[in-house]
Amino acid sequence: MRAARSLFAILALAWIVLLLAAPVTALGAPIAAAVYAFGSVMCHQRPERSFHLAQAQLPVCARCLGLYAGAAAGAIGILAALRSAGPKSSATPSRLRTILLVAAIPTATTWGGELLGAWFPENLTRFVAALPLGAAVAVTVNYVECARPPRTELRPPRILI
């Protein structure tokens, strides 16, 4: 279980590094092109809603970057919490649902305000509002994927003649 949590944290951090490195290496680097292409599948990539680094737009918008940064922080936080508290978890499905709903409020507020045309927050606000939701999703994924019992090997069916 610990290996799965560590892998999740490493992958979340690696994605953040790739997102931040892509604009800097955008001139001719195939990996940067792949990151931008993958980012386009999940994000609208609108320039006015994205951060820019080295005068190049990041592969995802500010809100998506906040979600991913929050997920990386949440994955690392789970590792740190389990290291100090041990393997026992006080998380329950209802507690996780509550955490997810509360963590979604800032993102829902900024998104809803934009949708209604009532509020157009700056990119930093979009980014910061998405951090709690990203962290809560990472905690939930860690709980769901890593807290369930280990899978048993499937045996081929016996053929009776």
- Please give the pLDDT value at position 27: 54
Higher pLDDT, 126 or 142: 126
The token pair that represents 75 in the structure block: 């994955």
Confidence of residue 4 (pLDDT cuts 50, 70, 90): confident
Mean pLDDT computed over every residue of the chain: 88
Residue with structure tokens 């604009």?
23
Sequence length of the chain is 161
Contact 125, 61 (CB under 8 A): no
The pTM for the full model equals: 0.85
Confidence of residue 147 (pLDDT cuts 50, 70, 90): low
Residue with structure tokens 């680094």?
53
The token pair that represents 152 in the structure block: 């048993």
- Share of residues in the chain with pLDDT > 70 (%): 84
Q: Is 90 exceeded by the pLDDT of residue 72?
A: yes
- Please give the pLDDT value at position 154: 66
pLDDT digits (tens, 9 = 90+) for 30-65: 888 899 999 999 999 999 999 999 889 999 999 999
- Please give the pLDDT value at position 38: 94
Highest-confidence range of 3-7, 84-88, 127-131, by mean pLDDT? 127-131
Q: Average pLDDT of 103-110?
A: 97
DSSP string, the chain: -HHHHHHHHHHHHHHHHHHHHHHHTTTT-HHHHHHHHHHHHH----GGGS-EETTEE-SS-HHHHHHHHHHHHHHHHHHHHHHHH-S-----HHHHHHHHHHHHHHHHHHHHHHHHTS----HHHHHHHHHHHHHHHHHHHHHHHHSSPPPPPPPPPPPP-
Confidence of residue 127 (pLDDT cuts 50, 70, 90): very high
- Please give the pLDDT value at position 153: 61
Terminal Cα-to-Cα distance of the chain (whole angstroms): 41
